[in-house]
């Protein structure tokens, strides 16, 4: 039942296990998600946090037998949902970055076209431009 309960995690991660017997008949099962071999995405720190269950062996078996309805199944579903949301946000941010770069490139191209057509026309100094005799380290004078 353990492996069937962990199948949703195995789709995305490689898993490590740690099983420790406690002094009072309890058992601690720790599942450690790792980056799966061949997967291109990097894992967030929340995705790689170990999942620990401490209870009597029969209680752990009963909880795992619940599958997706058990605590481990719900935690796995929640982590998978959050990881999918993170991946979706990354894709959206990348698409926005590419679109922004294309818009900036189009603006630069249109500015270049505009400046080359206006370069042939006589240019008047901008009204806010400093007079030719003004020095950059002195304040401008109105007289």
pLDDT tens column, 71-107? 777 777 777 777 778 878 888 999 999 999 888 888 8
Would you tell me the crossing angle of helices 71-118 and 2-10 to the nearest 10 degrees? 0
Per residue in 98-108, pLDDT tens?
Answer: 999 888 888 88
Q: How far, rounded to the nearest angstrom, does the alpha carbon of residue 60 sit from its chain's CA centroid? A: 33
Q: What is the dihedral of CA 56, 13, 4, 68, to 10 degrees?
A: 80
Q: Three-state SS for 122?
A: coil
Task: Spell out the domain ranges in the chain.
Answer: 2-91
Q: What is the pTM of this model?
A: 0.51
According to DSSP H, which parts of 11-139 are helical? 57-65, 71-118
């Amino acid at each position: 039942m353990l492996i069937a309960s962990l199948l949703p995690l195995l789709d995305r991660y490689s898993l490590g296990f740690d099983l420790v017997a406690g002094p009072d008949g309890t058992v601690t099962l720790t599942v450690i998600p790792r980056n799966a071999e061949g997967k291109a995405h990097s894992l967030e720190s929340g995705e790689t946090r170990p999942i620990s269950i401490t209870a009597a062996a029969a209680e752990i078996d009963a909880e795992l037998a619940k599958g997706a309805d058990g605590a481990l199944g719900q935690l796995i579903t929640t982590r998978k949902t959050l990881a999918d949301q993170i991946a979706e946000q990354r894709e959206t941010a990348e698409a926005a970055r590419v679109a922004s770069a294309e818009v900036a490139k189009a603006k630069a191209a249109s500015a270049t076209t505009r400046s080359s057509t206006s370069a042939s026309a006589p240019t008047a100094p901008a009204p806010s431009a400093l007079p030719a005799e003004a020095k950059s380290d002195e304040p401008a004078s109105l007289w």
